[in-house]
Structure formats: structure tokens, C-alpha cells
Structure 1
Amino acid sequence: MLEIRGLDVHYGGVHALRGLSLTVAAGEVVALLGNNGAGKTTTLSAVSGLLRPSGGSILFEGADITREPPHRITARGLVHVPEGRRVFSALTVHENLQLGGYLVRDQAEIRRRIERVYDLLPRLAERRRQRGGTLSGGEQQMLAIGRALVTGPRLLLLDEPSMGLAPLVVASVMELVAGINAEGTSVLLVEQNAVAALRVAHRGYVIENGACVLDGPAAGLREDARVVEAYLGGV
């Protein structure tokens, strides 16, 4: 579904990604792990067209999207939920969800997708008239993901969805990720919380200094001594 081949990204004189390669197959949740500054967010931004790679290629469902603009990439069904939630604080929950359908011409289809989000996330349905900026951190994260679902993703790029959330809320977010995947949406998940990520992922990659240093099935990574020591708290 997604294939990244030898990707290089520069920020001025900083070589942020160094020949990074990874794949996401249809129906998979793939976790992308690494320390701060490893290149995880840069990877998602390059895939979604927010950054222009300096080398390598990105293929989505067989098409080369390396230099496509973000709106065309999104229209293909590759939808990015960036770090920090970024809900429209002055708009209601419902208005935020409506904006997720900005590329969808069929208004009935937008309404159907919003109702699906409400079915999936009843808390948002309860707060549909509440302004986004008044929601809790966990509710804002659910709203950001819900808005992406209205766009109609085939592959969802999630950047640090658990950041700053309490453990119980993190569990709810990861349960949502698993539920979205169970309904047929593939997920590329960037997470500092490696324990949570590897519980829902099928496979994972570990990147350091912009390059992949380890990959494999999630169960294997959970037991790998290097991953345990560096990312799972030594347990």
C-alpha cells in the first residue's frame, strides 16, 4: 500500500532522513518508534506532502506521490493527523468534523461519515455543539482523529496521538486505533509510547538519526533486548 524507498530529507544543512525505507501493507498497523529528533515526524510530513524530499521515492497504492501537493495526496486517501491535535478551537465539534469533508462533494456522504464518527465516539456526539477549544486533551485527540475519518482515509498517518494524555485516555486512543484498523483502514503510527504502540501494531520500525536500524513483527520487537532497554523502560 505504502512504500518508502531510500528517502532523504534535509532541513537546510541538517540531513533529517538518511535513505529511509519502509512499507505498510493493506490492513496493517505499523508503528514507527524512535527518540525525539530521530525523524519520525519528518517521515510522516514527507509522506503527506508537507515536506519535499531531497532524494528517494514514496509510492502509495502503486502511484509515485513523492512530489505531489498535500491536497492531492489527501484526496488519494492518505490522511495525516499531525502532532498536537490542531482542532479549530473556536468551532464546534460538529463544525470541526464537517471540515474533514472538505474534499468530499457529496453532502449526504459527509453526513454519513460524521454519523459513523459519532457512533464510534459517542463522547463527541454528546459534545457536538461544544467548541473544540473547551474539550479535554483526550477529547481533542478523538476529535482530530474523527475529523480525519470524515476525510475517508485508506491509510491514516497518526503522529503522537497519546502525547500528554493520562494512561487511561492513552488506552482509549489505542483502542480507537485498533477499531479503525479492524474496519479496514491501514495505519502508520508514530509514538513515543512504545509499549502502547506495539500492543496495537502488527509490525514496527525503529529509526535513529533518520535511518531505520531495526524492524520486524511487533511481538518480536517487544522482546528484543535493544528495544526493551531503549524504549520499553527496561521491562
Structure 2
Amino acid sequence: MLEIRGLDVHYGGVHALRGLSLTVAAGEVVALLGNNGAGKTTTLSAVSGLLRPSGGAILFEGADITRDPPHRITARGLVHVPEGRRVFSALTVQENLQLGGYLVRDQAEVRRRIERVYDLLPRLAERRRQRGGTLSGGEQQMLAIGRALVTGPRLLLLDEPSMGLAPLVVASVMELVAGINAEGTSVLLVEQNAVAALRVAHRGYVIENGTCVLGGPAAELREDSRVVEAYLGGA
């Protein structure tokens, strides 16, 4: 579904990604692990068109999207939920969700998708007239994911969805990710919380200094001594 081949990205004089390669198959949740500054967010930004690679290729469902602008990539069904939630704080929950359908011409379909989000996330349904900025951190994260679902993703790029959330809320977010995947949406998940990520993922990659240094089934990564020591607290 998604194939990244030898990707290079520069920020000025900084070589942020160095020949990075990875794949996401249809129906998978793939976790992207690594320390701060390893290149995880840069990878998602390059895939979604927010950053222009300096080398390599990005293919989505067989099409080369390396040079495509973000709106075209989104229209293909590749939808990015960036780090920090970024909900529209002055707009209501309902209005935030409606904005997720800005590329969908069929407004009846937009309404159907919004109702599906409310079915998945009843807390949002209760707060549909509440401004986004007044929601809790966990509710804002759910809203950001819900807005992406209204866009109609075939592949969802999630950047640090558990950041700053209490453990019980993290569990709810990961349960939502698993539920979205069970309904047929593939997920590329960037997560600092490696324990949570590897519980929900089918496969994973470890990034160091802008390149993938390790990859494999999530169950194997959970047992790999290098991953345990570096990302799972040695436990």
C-alpha cells in the first residue's frame, strides 16, 4: 500500500532522513519507533507532502506521490493527523468534523461519516456543540482523529497520539486505533510510547539518525533486547 524507497530529506544543512525505506501493507498497523529527533515526524511530513524529499521515492497504492502537494495526497486517501492535535479551538466539535469533509463533494456522505464518528466516539457526540478549545487533551486527540476519519482515509498517519495523555486515556486512544484498523483502515503510527504502540501494531520499525535500523513483527520487537533496553524501559 505504502512504499518508501531510500528517502532523503534535508532541513537546510541538516540531513534529517538518510536513505530511509519502509512499507505498510493494506490492513496493517505499522509502528515507527525512535528517540526524539530520530526522524519519525519528518517521515510522516514527507509522506503527506508537507516536506519535499531531496531524494528517494514514496509510492502509495502503486502511484508515485513523491512530488504531489498535500491536498492531492489527502484526496488519494492518505490522511495525516499531526502531533499536537491542532483542532480549531474556536469552532465546535461538529464544525471541526465538518472541515474533515472539505474534499468530499457529497454532503450526505460527509454527514454519514460524521455520524459514524459519533458512533465510535460517543463523548464527542455529547459535546458536538462545544468549542474544540474547551475539550480535555484526550477529547481533543479523539476529535483530531475523528476529523481525519471524515476525510475518508485508506491509510492514516498518526503522529504521537498519546503525547501528554494520562495512561487510561492512552489506552482509549490505542483501542480506537485498533478499532479503526479492524474496519479496514491501515495505520502508520509514530509513537514515543513504544509499549502501547507495539501492543496495537502488526509490525514495527526503529529509526535512528534518519534511517531504519531494525524492523519486524511487533511480537518479535517486543522481545528484542535492543528494543527492550532502549524503548521498553528494560522491562
Tell me if TM exceeds 0.5.
yes
Which deviations, in whole Å up to 9, do the C-alpha atoms of 1:104-134 show, x marking residues without a partner? 0000000000000000000000000000000
Distance 1:76 1:111 in 2: 20
Partner of 1:173: 173
Match of 1:56, SS state, is: strand
* Structure 2, gaps ≥5 residues long: none
In the TM superposition, what is the alpha-carbon distance from 1:74 to its structure 2 partner? 0.0
Alignment of 1:26-175 (within 5 A): 26-175=26-175
Distance 1:165 1:135 in 2: 13
In the TM superposition, what is the alpha-carbon distance from 1:135 to its structure 2 partner? 0.1
In the TM superposition, what is the alpha-carbon distance from 1:172 to its structure 2 partner? 0.1
Which deviations, in whole Å up to 9, do the C-alpha atoms of 1:122-173 show, x marking residues without a partner? 0000000000000000000000000000000000000000000000000000
Match of 2:49, SS state, is: coil
TM-score relative to the length of structure 1: 1.00
Which deviations, in whole Å up to 9, do the C-alpha atoms of 1:186-235 show, x marking residues without a partner? 00000000000000000000000000000000000000000000000000
Which deviations, in whole Å up to 9, do the C-alpha atoms of 1:11-68 show, x marking residues without a partner? 0000000000000000000000000000000000000000000000000000000000
Structure 1 consecutive aligned stretches of length 4 or more whose deviation exceeds 3 Å: none
Q: CA RMSD in A?
A: 0.1
Count of aligned positions: 235
In the TM superposition, what is the alpha-carbon distance from 1:81 to its structure 2 partner? 0.1
- 1:8 maps onto 2:45 in alignment: no
Partner of 1:192: 192
In the TM superposition, what is the alpha-carbon distance from 1:181 to its structure 2 partner? 0.0
Distance 2:169 2:128 in 1: 20
Match of 1:169, SS state, is: helix
Distance 2:58 2:141 in 1: 27
Partner of 1:17: 17
Distance 1:98 1:211 in 2: 37
Partner of 1:233: 233
TM-score relative to the length of structure 2: 1.00
Match of 1:143, SS state, is: helix
In the TM superposition, what is the alpha-carbon distance from 1:6 to its structure 2 partner? 0.1
* Structure 1, gaps ≥5 residues long: none
Match of 2:196, SS state, is: helix
Distance 1:182 1:24 in 2: 15
Match of 1:113, SS state, is: helix
Match of 2:114, SS state, is: helix
Identity of aligned residues (%): 96
